Amino acid sequence: MLPLFAVASLSWVACPPAQAVEFQTITIKVGYGAGGGYDQTSRLIARHLGRFLPGNPNIIVQNVPGSGSLKLTKMVVGSEPADGSVIASVSEAMFYAPILDPENANFDPLALQWIGSLINDPAYCLTSKQSGIDTMEKFLQSDFLIGATGKNSTTYIFAALAKNGMKARYKIVTGFDGTADIELAMRRGEIAGMCGVSSSLLRSDRAAINIIGTFGQGGSGATPSISATIADPTARQAADLIESALHIHHPLIAPPGTPKETVDALRKAYSAMVVDADFLADATKLGDLTLNPTSGEAISQLVAQQLKATPAVFAAARELVK
């Protein structure tokens, strides 16, 4: 089957014109191990973003896995240079990490400088065919293992949301460097499945997996919505907060304090890149994936709005993902 790479409706807001700024070498640091989705999309971006930046800089990629990209996010906030020379590919869940895990994620999410994201897509819980867990009933009532990276990653957060929201019995195992490692463990039979994965994985490996349930909007009507079963209105608002991160999947961020003209130039280049014919042609090599980019400005607006939720909703969110 030929890969399909479609660009859906773009979620852009007007970008102010960037001031004069020139880039040299840029490093994209990736909060996950090699071979997974974040690594692959970061290397795709590294091959093209420099063409749209002043100075046409070389861009290299460096993997910094740990705690579902929380390790890298803390580095970006605390020690990376705020001059445009380092940007980072981290989990979209980082914007509410300080709400869900305030002891470990002790940073201000509103200080992150969002450049843009590639995907606005539902997420899924899935299991391997060999596991025998092929229905929602079995998923809820069986004892098995779900794989995740760190407790602040989408692979853990959505597995915990399903487990606690639906009173499932499975256990979540953390410590994987990325989804590629989780997939390998599924093929080996070491774990039964994972949650919080995008539709691209479903299409690329459909014969080997069972799709159990979905999070967010836009999933298949034949696949049950996991959060729709949550009856308590406050808990449902908390689930909506958690699922809002799915609108900004695979984001890039710059460190707090990065000059406005530098951030503006990065955002402008990103918006030009994602509609470029050469970029889109190269992207088809990643497999069956749908692009639906969101601008850095739109991400900042979404994050600010979601973080206006009440303390009761934040508390309910912490209960859902504990």
* Sign of the torsion angle spanned by Cα atoms 217, 195, 275, 6: negative
> Do residue 210 and residue 265 come from a single domain?
no
176-229 confidence digits (pLDDT tens): 988 889 999 999 999 999 999 887 666 666 788 999 999 987 555 578 888 888
* Sign of the torsion angle spanned by Cα atoms 235, 236, 241, 243: positive
In the chain, the percentage of residues whose pLDDT exceeds 90 is: 78
Look at residues 241, 265, 300 and tell me which one is the last residue of a structural domain.
241
Q: Which residues pair with 146 in a beta bridge?
A: 172, 193
Please identify which residue in the block is written with the tokens 């959060």.
227
> Do residue 127 and residue 116 come from a single domain?
no
> Do residue 135 and residue 229 come from a single domain?
yes
Task: Taking residues 47-65, report their average pLDDT.
Answer: 98
Please state, in angstroms and rounded to a whole number, the distance separating the CA atoms of residues 87 and 74: 13
Cα-Cα-Cα-Cα torsion 254, 258, 260, 50, nearest 10 degrees, comes to: -50
> Do residue 103 and residue 252 come from a single domain?
yes
End-to-end CA distance of the chain: 40
313-322 confidence digits (pLDDT tens): 999 999 999 9
Cα-Cα-Cα-Cα torsion 141, 145, 146, 147, nearest 10 degrees, comes to: 180
CA angle, residues 318, 321, 322, in degrees to nearest 5: 75
Q: What confidence score (pLDDT) does residue 159 get?
A: 97
29-45 confidence digits (pLDDT tens): 999 999 888 999 999 99
Please state, in angstroms and rounded to a whole number, the distance separating the CA atoms of residues 24 and 110: 27
Two structure tokens written together for 101: 């895990």
> Do residue 64 and residue 114 come from a single domain?
yes
> Do residue 109 and residue 63 come from a single domain?
yes
> Do residue 253 and residue 116 come from a single domain?
yes
- pLDDT higher at 286 or 219: 286
The pLDDT of residue 6 is above 70: no
> Do residue 234 and residue 263 come from a single domain?
no
Q: What confidence score (pLDDT) does residue 4 get?
A: 34
Please state, in angstroms and rounded to a whole number, the distance separating the CA atoms of residues 320 and 157: 8
> Do residue 279 and residue 174 come from a single domain?
no
Look at residues 191, 226, 241 and tell me which one is the last residue of a structural domain.
241
What's the pTM? 0.86
Q: What confidence score (pLDDT) does residue 31 get?
A: 97
149-172 confidence digits (pLDDT tens): 988 889 999 999 999 999 999 999
Helices (H), 114-232: 136-141, 154-166, 179-188, 199-204
> Do residue 150 and residue 221 come from a single domain?
yes
What's the domain range around 52? 5-120+247-320
What total of structural domains would you count in the chain? 2
Look at residues 187, 212, 241 and tell me which one is the last residue of a structural domain.
241
Name every residue whose Cβ is closer than 8 Å to that of residue 140 and which is 6 or more positions away in sequence: 166, 167, 168, 169
CA-closest candidate to residue 250, choices 64, 25, 39, 14? 39
Q: What is the CATH number of the domain that holds 200?
A: 3.40.190.10
> Do residue 150 and residue 211 come from a single domain?
yes
Q: What is the CATH number of the domain that holds 97?
A: 3.40.190.150
What's the distance, CA 161 to chain centroid? 16
> Do residue 96 and residue 174 come from a single domain?
no
